[in-house]
Amino acid sequence: MTDIWWSPGEIRFAREEMIWLITWLSFLEDGKWPPDHNSSSSTRGRRSHKAPFENPSGFAGEVNSRLKTTGEAGEALVDEIQSGIVDYEGLSRPAKRALNYVSGWRRRRKTYALWKAQKKYKDINLYPRKQKA
C-alpha cells in the first residue's frame, strides 16, 4: 500500500482510494497532500489559483462527512486502517460495510441504516428461480 499514490485529479472515491485517503487523513486535515514516494522529480506541479491547502482540506472534509454518516462502523473503519490494516479482506465485517457505503463517486442518498437493511434484504432470496434441466 505504501507504493500507491494518487493525485487529487485521480481520486474517484473507489474502495482502494478511500483506504488510502483514510490512511493519510490526518495529513490531509493539516492541508497537505501526501508526498509521492515513487516520483523522483522535484517539480512542484502546475500553477493554480487555489491555495495549496484547499485540495487536501476539501478531500479531508469529504471523507469525514462520508464517515460521519456511518457512526460506530465508520469509527471502526478508521481505527482499523490507521492501525495498519490496509487490505479490504483484513477488515472486520462492520468496517467493510462502512467502506462499501462511503465508497463511490457520489455520496449515497439513502441513510446508512436504510442502505444496510436493504442490502441485507437483497441477500435473502425469497423466490429462488428453478434450475433449467
Query: Is 44 within a domain?
Result: no
Q: Dihedral (C-alpha) 111, 116, 119, 120: value to the nearest 10 degrees?
A: -150
The grid coordinates of residue 118 equal 436493504
Domain count, the chain: 1
Query: Is 133 within a domain?
Result: no
Query: Is 119 within a domain?
Result: yes
Alpha carbon 107 to chain centroid, angstroms: 11
Query: Is 4 within a domain?
Result: no
Q: Are 97 and 73 in contact (CB under 8 A)?
A: yes
Q: What tens digit of pLDDT does each residue of 90-124 get?
A: 999 999 999 999 999 999 999 999 999 887 766 65
- What is the extent of the structural domain holding 22? 9-37+49-123
End-to-end CA, the chain: 47
The grid coordinates of residue 44 equal 512542484
pLDDT of residue 20: 96
Query: Is 102 within a domain?
Result: yes
Query: Is 23 within a domain?
Result: yes
Query: Is 28 within a domain?
Result: yes
**Which of 85, 82, 37 has the alpha carbon at shortest distance from 63?**
82
Query: Is 2 within a domain?
Result: no
Q: What tens digit of pLDDT does each residue of 52-98 get?
A: 557 899 999 999 999 999 999 999 999 999 999 999 999 999 999 99
Q: Are 91 and 70 in contact (CB under 8 A)?
A: no
